[in-house]
Structure 1
Amino acid sequence: MKHLSRFLLASLCILSFGAMQAQNENNPWAVGLGINAVDFYPTGEDAPLGEYFDEFFNTGDHWNVLPGISRLSVARNIGAGFYFEAAGSVNQLTKFGDDRWDDLTYYALDGTFNYSFRGEDGWFDPVLGAGAGYTWVDDNGHATFDGTGGINFWFSDFFALTVQTMYKHAFDDDYNSHWQHAAGIKFAMGGKDTDGDGVYDKDDECPEEPGLAEFNGCPDSDGDGIEDRNDECPMEAGTAEFNGCPDTDGDGISDNKDECPTVAGLAEMNGCPDADGDGIKDSDDECPNEAGPAENNGCPWEDKDNDGVLDKDDECPEVAGTVENNGCPEPTVEVIEELNEYSRTILFDLNKSSIRSESEETLQSIADIMKEYPQTIFHIEGHTDSTGSESYNEKLSRERAASVRQFLIGAGIPESRMTSEGYGESQPIASNNTAKGRQENRRVEISLDKERQMKEPAEGQEQDTTDTDGE
């Protein structure tokens, strides 16, 4: 074994190279230890050797085996199933086919690129590879082309049993090609640490988030001793009692479930207080210091004008009105009748929508009455007799109603409180067969716009009030 020192030196170089690279890159490495056997027989060379694969497993007659550890390898993962393996081996040659030699020292360095068929987390790992090497027999050395195949049996992520065979084709005619078989164990080491937290991805339960070793690589952003994935409030330090959330007001309800996190409250109020004890939390109680029913938003009932509309909803709290008109008074039937007594006297220019000047005083009286009911929306209707075409009558009636509305806007009535429409000859109140009937049908009427106010007529008020105008 006079050349064993050379093998040990070469192996040390291989290990040093692997360790150096592992310190700089987060890539898996594997170190293998085992024995090797060298066989010159089944290589198809000249006699006394056999044909390829002839007596391939004749271990007793053809295999040269050195007892003890005789092969050392280092492998580095490249990615996508590929890895590079460097191996150093030593042997003692006494068999050359059927011939016998004196002890010759054999040692070799080989490098192969291999592909693993293992798949993700598989235990059965077939491997194929190719590369080159250099072999020495005593002091004579030669280069080889190497083809290899083998199987790794992984018992864990770190440990495997391995068997391998390699054909080494000699480039120099003075040297013989041969087979080298190996068996041993392989240890995986190194690893990838994507988030750089010092916990390898294979052990890191949060491999893309920097974390702490005590939490298997997962973070605890707020430092409360509860890892973020189990912390309902990962950015606010809390207690285990509240799954990592704080309870700022100390009412026993964690802030993330407390609708009033800075004011102590009651569990039944989701952490909010109820100062008057009326069952309505203060934030929703319009009278937080006076007990009142929920239907009154926590305020006690109060109706100063006794019109059935609470003061808080009463738009005219000092004057009795109707519920339908939000507590404000509504025009009675008599008032509507008075309006229509005025409206039937409104005169228009012949076949036009322009109002005659002598009707302006009448319209001002209508405006004065409307101002007494600031919450009421009035509807102005235009009507005609059946003289002329239906489309003409509808257009004329609409324009006359609009003229009345426009005059009243100018007299101070908000335009939002009036609507107008023309109905032409469609709603006669008398016969169109007589002059008197046709005159009655030519009219302007004023009523309440109940649809706009979204309510029913006030008690005692007629559904429709109509009157006539003169032309």
Structure 2
Amino acid sequence: MQSSAALAQTAERRTSIGINGSVLQYKGDFGSEYWQFTQKRYAPGLAINQYLTKGIDLNAQLFYGQLTGQPSTTTSFTSTLVNANVGFKFKLNNGWALKEKAVIQPYLFAGSGWTFASRTGLADGIRINTEKGYVDVLAGAGLNLRLGGSLGLFVQSSQHLPMYADLDGLTQEKPSRWADRFLQHTVGLTINLGQAPDADEDGVPDRLDQCPHTPNDIEVDAHGCPLDDDKDGVPNYQDQCPSIPGKPEVHGCPDRDNDGVDDVDDACPDKPGSIELHGCPDTDQDGVSDSDDQCPDTPVGTAVNAQGCPAPSVASDTVVSTKSASSSLDIDGDGVPNTEDRCPDHAGPVTNHGCPEIQAATRQRLQEATKLIGFERNNATLLPASYSTLDTIARILTQYPDYSLSIAGHTDSQGPAAFNLRLSRERAASARRYLLERGLPEARVEWRGYGPRYPLAANTTEAGRARNRRVEFDLFLTGDPNTAQAKYGPEPTPSALVTPKKGKATPLKKKPVPRKTVSKPRSGKQTIRKQPSRTPRRAPKQPTLEW
């Protein structure tokens, strides 16, 4: 999503209100205090700003303050001012010098209003008290600084020229139009009001959003479109190689030979091949790549060994010789006889039971996939941003036919543990369901949910809780224990997540006693035992979780 600074006052957030404080400086018949800050006379004020165009705002201000002076012991004045004015702000961040959404926004302004002055003081020892209003003309300059969100800080200075004003009590026969005046230096905060329509909640209003249906929680540019750092046409959230230009067909990764296997996973990146052979060619279509095929012209349909040559036939009428031959037979030629080879059709080292080892790059991709899988808030519905990552996992499983996939769901600790356990399992199942829809066999994709039981970080911070909300993917040899079970143990049950209170034994569940069971006590009287009434339990409230 965009930075919050872009949400300040614009054509979509047209109105702002502000509070401010000012310093007033007098200039008139008794001299000038301009730009002298020794006198501490503060004037609180309010302001309202209305966006009109990129270059012009309408601005209204109101403030209350005092001007004082004492040129001699017999002459002094104190003028209390109430000023209201309306004017226009001419913004320099109008798209010419600066962008409209620039952080620093200089402006000029001019306007007019009304100044009411209540003056008390001495004039040559004679006390005077007058109240009078004047038409005020003002002009000035200022600077607005975006602080983020809807908050801004501004500083400005303005010259006030109340017409024919007598602010200091020195009355003249022919008063000058601009006899008494004052400067106002202001610092204040503005709060921008209103919220523009933003259907996809990416911080860019619909009116300016060129990609109006961006999935939630995806970073976007100023036009509302997902970021694409390598400029390959595949946005970062769908790009498996976000820093290297690639092709959409292979999820944004490079594919020099155009065989549908990206160069990272392609064992033969300069020769077109098949996905099953990690991108290597197989001219005679015998299942052995040309680089390993010692008999490259084997007729189609011929059974071959790991070297691509016709496999020797075994006589069916000699059982002993058959057993002897089968015990030493090694179809894939990896040095592990078929009787001990867990993957007799795919060569692998003895240390891995004759099965192909998973490449480090593939394991890395599975680890990164955990960060790229997202769900709708508080449920198990996959976000569309997860699809490309799951497509990559499906392709990995196709490349490793001897392996199965473990999917383990985890949550943070907020909310009831039983609810979190169910949610973690449902989310793992949702990812599994997507993979099965891509044609993977059910037996090769296992899933489990562990709820909040195995956090990666402390649940005391939002960053820690975000790490703990995850779905993990691991490959394991088909037939071996599930990877998640090897790491975390058996999948917990809801009762296993409940911690009994200290000092109280957990009561045992008793079988219900049938109603009106009659027994004969020693006294000879009959006693009827009634089953105690049960108060129905209230359903637990659904917690508010974020994932």
Q: Shorter-chain TM-score: which interval?
A: 0.3 to 0.5
- Structure showing the higher helix proportion among its residues: 1
Q: State the structure with more CA Rg.
A: 1
Q: Structure 1-normalised TM-score?
A: 0.33
